[in-house]
Amino acid sequence: MGGSGSRLSKELLAEYQDLTFLTKQEILLAHRRFCELLPPEHRSVEQSLQIRVSLEQILSLPELKANPFKERIGRVFSTSPARDSLSFEDFLDLLSVFSDTATPDIKSHYAFRIFGESQEQPGGTRPVLTQSWWRCAAREPGLLWSLGAHPDHILSGFLCLSLDFDDDGTLNREDLSHLVNCLTGQGEDTRLSASEMKQLIDNVSSQAGSESGREGLGLGLKLSLPQILEESDIDRDGTINLSEFQHVISRSPDFARYDGSSPPAFWFPLGPHLLHPSLGCRDGRRQPG
């Protein structure tokens, strides 16, 4: 793997350093790990830049294998039409967003896309935006702007549409309950019951007295249960859009830049080997729980 034939050229390295948050060593390591996933006869530099690796193989990486969001991550970063394979550049994008020097903005943007990503696989190819839809948007471009959508979000909304968001570029209750289910796992004792889920997500308070408080636009309610939507949904439309998501996340110190004192959320380091030696067998440890 160290032969001169399998190293990236200096210009390409410099370009990747410009376009991602990775350092030179990390890019070379990523290239090495990517080449390990390719079949042995296709491991030259030119082929590694063109061949796409299937999603299953990428998701078998030890860094992603145990992650409940791995399919979503794979689909968000994939640029193929069927979104089932990643090229080397997609892989670099993935590592760049999850590196420790990535800005909190880009992390929260991708976090939003990953959490809003649907679990199901589309039946066929990428859905096509119909001409009538375009005509609607084209005739009334002001409509889109008047909905307060920032151009950045509109374009990413277009992209998100083509990326098969299952809904409208916002996180609604179903997305949140999917998210919580992923986090808590499907085991009998860890799964939250339906009522607990409802309590966690909904912003319905169980106090009758708070109904009058809602007229005060939900601020300073002493009796309500501050749940997810209550805390994050600023404009009270029942969903969390990108700006609200970024607002919530930016308050958490976990998303701040890594300074060595505590690692941030949405970060993982890439290991040097495909199979880390200590993860192979656990030296006689018992299974917990």
Partner 1 sequence: MLRQWSVQSGQALMEPEPEPGVEQLWEQEMERLWSSQALVRELPYAMVDKRFVRQLREPEGVKTSCWQRWRRRGQTARRRLADAAHRLAQGFGLWEGALYEIGGLFGTGIQSYFTFLRFLLLLNLLTLLLTASFVLLPLVWLRPPDTGPSLNLTLQCPGGLQSQTGVPRFHNQLWNVLTGRAFANTYLFYGAYRAGPESGSAYSIRLAYLLSPLACLLLCFCGILRRMVKGLPQRLFLGQDYKSPVSVKVFSSWDFCIRGQEAATIKKHEISNEFKVELEERRRFLLVQQETRTQRACHLLTYLRVNVLIGLLVVGAIGAIFWATKYSQDNKEESLFVLLQYLPPGIIALVNFLGPLLFVFLIQLENYPPNTEVNLALIWCVVLKLASLGMFSFSLGQTVLCIGQNKTSCASYGYNACDYQCWESAVGEELYKLSAFNFLLTVAFAFFVSLPRRLLVERFSGRFWAWLDREEFLVPKNVLDIVAGQTVTWMGLFYCPLLPLLHGVFIFLTFYIKKYTLMRNSKASPRRFRASSSTFFFQLVLLLGLLLAVMPLGYVVSSVHSSWDCGLFANYSAPWQVVPELVALRLPPPGQRILHYLGSHAFSFPFLMLLSLVLTVCVSQSQANARAIRGFRKQLVWQVQEKWHLVEDLSRLLPEPGSGGSVGPESPHSRASRPRSFCPGFPCPGSPGPRTPRPGACLEDPARPCGAPVPASRFRFPSSSEL
Looking at residues 77 to 116 of the shown chain, list those that interact with partner 1 (rule: CB under 8 A). Answer: 77, 79, 89-90, 92-93, 96, 98, 101, 103, 105-106, 109-111, 115
> Do the beta carbons of residue 56 and residue 68 sit within 8 Å?
no
Burial 106-117 (b: 16+ CB within 10 A, else e): ebbbbbbbbbbb
Residues ≥6 apart with Cβ < 8 Å to 193:
none
Report the residue number, 5 or 289, with the smaller CB distance to partner 1. Answer: 289
Task: Return the H-helix or E-strand segment holding 53.
Answer: strand 53-54
**Which part of the chain contacts partner 1 (CB under 8 A), choosing from 5-13, 31-39, 40-48, 250-258?**
250-258
CB contact at 8 A, 246 and 109: yes
- Fill in the per-residue mask, 169 to 198: x = in contact with partner 1 (CB under 8 A), - = not in contact: xx-xxx-x--xx--xxx-x-xxxx---x--
Pick 44 or 172: Cβ nearer partner 1: 172
| Shortest Cβ 150–partner 1 spacing (Å) | 10
> Residues 202-241: x/- map of binding to partner 1 (CB under 8 A)?
xxx-xx------x--x-xxxxx-xxxxx-xx-xxxxxx-x
Q: Which is nearer to partner 1, 42 or 152 (CB)?
A: 152
Provide the token pair at 197: 């889920």
| Chain residues 145-164 in contact with partner 1, contact rule CB under 8 A | 146-149, 151-152, 154-162, 164
> Which CB, 45 or 154, lies closer to partner 1?
154
Contact 239, 171 (CB under 8 A): yes
Site string for partner 1, 41-80 (x = CB under 8 A): ---------------------xx-xxxxx-------x-x-
Min. distance of Cβ 9 from partner 1 in angstroms?
16
Q: Give yes or no for a contact between 229 and 248, defined as CB atoms under 8 angstroms apart.
A: no
Size of interface with partner 1, in residues (CB under 8 A): 148
Find the shortest distance in angstroms from Cβ 269 to partner 1.
Answer: 6
**Residues contacting 140, CB < 8 A, separation 6+:** none
Q: Name which of 1 and 274 has its Cβ closer to partner 1.
A: 274
Q: Which pairs from 80-85 meet CB under 8 Å and 24+ separation? A: 80/52, 81/125, 81/126, 82/125, 82/126, 83/55, 83/126, 83/163, 83/164, 84/54, 84/55, 85/52, 85/53, 85/54, 85/55
CB of 177 vs partner 1, minimal distance in Å: 10
Continuous H helices in 194-289: 194-201, 210-215, 228-232, 242-250, 277-280
263 binds partner 1 (CB under 8 A): yes
**Sole residue written with tokens 């007295």:** 209
